[in-house]
Structure 1
């Protein structure tokens, strides 16, 4: 247990790959960081870091220790949260992880209002379309869509989302317009590569579901990059309604197969299970839910 107070020093060095940057991040001297990490290595009897004049990197033992140390430090922080008055106030640093397009279109426009309402909260927003491990990445909250596999997380529904199939007038002028889902097999489909089933699109009409295997020459892991290619006439895209709706309304995109619906997914806020939920997390979730409902 004597190593607990050295963990944040080691984590900072590992994150920044520099003793000097870690010291600036922790607002302590470089020598203090070096001393704590050296003491940690001496106690453990292993070398955690490779040190050169130009770079600091993890040893094999350091990689193993880092993963466990992050989890341990996270739960230590939760213990401190539950015992301090800070837990009862909307203050502190709030780290949120959001998908890129949803973050830019839906979350980013709301941040100025949130920061004005809660001036004692500082926000770090990480935008990435890959699912990050919340505890591993240090996020207080993540925004996720669709089915949630991790039962250790608490989830609150934020809003529904449905995908629509679209194409530009330029593309449709050169190719026939699909009238039924199976017609998509004759077209170039633009594919979101992080989807659970990238090349299988499911459509509903009444009680009947139809799944079509699509093909295309462009796969990309960002919805707005997919939108750009679609607008430029590269093919047909399946896009979330929050990405495509304004372009459909303007006439730049044509919604295809309008008599069919695609399965609705929910957008969730998820966070680690905590007996004492920090007020900064609760007020952010409440703010998002109310703002998006409007």
Structure 2
């Protein structure tokens, strides 16, 4: 299939509008020879003459008159497309697909979106919440927020803020079963496990650099940190959750942090986008908003 010569059609429309090859060339910033060659190229493709040319006059042939309105529409559509794109660059509009972890999306991203829409009322956000990592390219996402230690990949990643994880339990559980002071003692406790981690092993590092790994056992495994929260509040066991899920419970005394001298491997909130440098203005607007909202704080 051979594509239409859109440039030649647009130049033909300009010649018709200007009623002169020379005037069309000046309007387009092209040489008269370039304009003439484009029209000749179009005539050759069509197998028909578009203009009667003499040294003093230029007039449309019957074919030229029939095709001139169509050429004008081609030119107008192209101009409108570029003007719309330029307007969008000044005032972002259109759809942006955003992926985020489930609880972080519910607790932090969704409450922030009204402020974004107040600034950009013509942008629509398709928010996809899932603790599993989506394939941005294959699934067509423009932006993703991820909480992890990110592996090397072709994606573009921007670190926004550290995420602290805490080992916690309800005061009632600790009163009944005792407070562990070393990760090895977790083997004697009921543990509630988050299953979207890369491994089912809990790894701790002490203040002296010593490391220990334990495999938790307990009555509940879930792929949602928020789902674990209800059971740990009820005193069913010990769990490890990020600060944005448990900060309110810690402040209210519903949960207590334990093993505070032992650290988990560091993770952070990242903003991830597909490879490539060019982005629509609507995507850049959302990226800048999220970075400003969540950088160095969660």
TM-score when normalising by structure 2: 0.68
The equivalent of 2:122 in structure 1 is: 120
Q: Provide the rounded CA distance (Å) in 1 between the counterparts of 2:133 and 2:142.
A: 14
Give CA-to-partner distance per residue, 1:155-177, whole Å, 9 cap, x none.
Answer: 11121102100000121121011
How far 1:119 moved relative to its partner? 0.8
Instruction: Confirm or deny that 1:276 pairs with 2:278.
Output: yes
Q: What's the TM-score once normalised by structure 1's chain length?
A: 0.68
SS at match of 2:108: helix
1:168 corresponds, among 167, 170, 187, to 170
Equivalent-residue separation in structure 2 for 1:180 and 1:153 (angstroms): 39
> Secondary structure of the residue that 1:113 maps to in structure 2?
helix
Provide the rounded CA distance (Å) in 2 between the counterparts of 1:268 and 1:87.
27
1:85 is matched with: 86
The answer on whether the counterparts of 2:271 and 2:291 sit within 8 Å (CA) in structure 1 is no
Using the TM superposition, give the Cα deviation of residue 110 of structure 1 relative to its aligned residue in structure 2, in angstroms: 0.4
Q: Residue 192 of structure 2 aligns with which residue?
A: 190
- CA offset at residue 86 of structure 1? 6.1
- Alpha-carbon distance, 1:279 to partner: 2.0
Q: What is the CA distance between 1:148 and its match in structure 2?
A: 2.4
Whose radius of gyration is greater, 1 or 2?
2
Q: 2:101 aligns with which of 99, 102, 114?
A: 99
Q: What is the alpha-carbon root mean square deviation over aligned residues?
A: 2.2
Aligned to 1:156: 158
Q: 1:292 Cα shift?
A: 2.3
8 A Cα contact 2:232 2:238, kept in partner: yes
Superposed displacement of residue 146, structure 1: 1.5
Flag the 1:160–1:258 CA change in 2: closer, same or farther, 3 A. Answer: same
Unaligned 5+ runs, structure 2 = 3-80
Please state how far the C-alpha of 1:135 moved relative to its aligned partner: 1.8
Aligned counterparts of 1:98 and 1:265: Cα–Cα separation in 2: 15
Contact 1:199 1:215 in 2 (8 A): no
- Aligned-pair CA distance for 1:226: 0.9
Q: Is the 8 A contact 1:142 1:270 kept in 2?
A: yes
* Among 160, 179, 182, the residue aligned to 2:181: 179
Indicate the SS of the match to 1:237. Answer: strand
Question: Does the CA-based 8 Å contact 2:204-2:262 persist in structure 1?
Answer: no
CA contact (8 A) 1:202 1:209 kept: yes
Alignment: residue pair count: 216
1: distance between equivalents of 2:138 and 2:117?
A: 26
**Are the structure 2 counterparts of residues 86 and 195 from structure 1 closer, same or farther at C-alpha, using a change threshold of 3 Å?**
farther
Residue matched to 1:76? none
